[in-house]
Copies of this chain bind each other. A is one copy, B any other.
Amino acid sequence: MDLDKLQELIRIFEASDLSEIEIEESGRRMRLKKPRPVMSYAGQMIPMQPADARGTQMVLHESVTAVPASAPVRAEKEPEKVITIDSPMVGVLYVAPSPGEPPFVHPGDTVDEGQAVCIVEAMKLMNEVTAKYPCVIVKALVENGEPVEFGQPLFVVRPIEQV
Contact = CB atoms under 8 A, between A and B. Distances in A.
Given A22-B31, A25-B28, A13 B61 contact: no
Interface stretch (A65-73, A113-121, A124-132, A149-157): A65-73
Interface stretch (A4-12, A38-46, A93-101, A136-144): A4-12
Interface string A14-33: 00111001111111110100
A1 interface: yes
A63 interface: yes
Given A17-B53, A70-B16, A70-B17, A64 B9 contact: yes
Number of copies of this kind of chain in the complex: 2
A105 interface: no
Interface residues of A, number: 28
Nearest to A61: B23
Nearest to A1: B64
B21 A29 contact: no
A59 interface: yes
Contacts of A26: 27
A25 B69 contact: no
Given A18-B69, A18-B70, A69-B16, A64 B24 contact: no
A24 B21 contact: no
Contacts of A27: 24-27
Nearest to A9: B64
B18 A63 contact: no
Interface of A: 1, 5, 8-9, 12-13, 16-18, 21-29, 31, 53, 59, 61, 63-65, 68-70
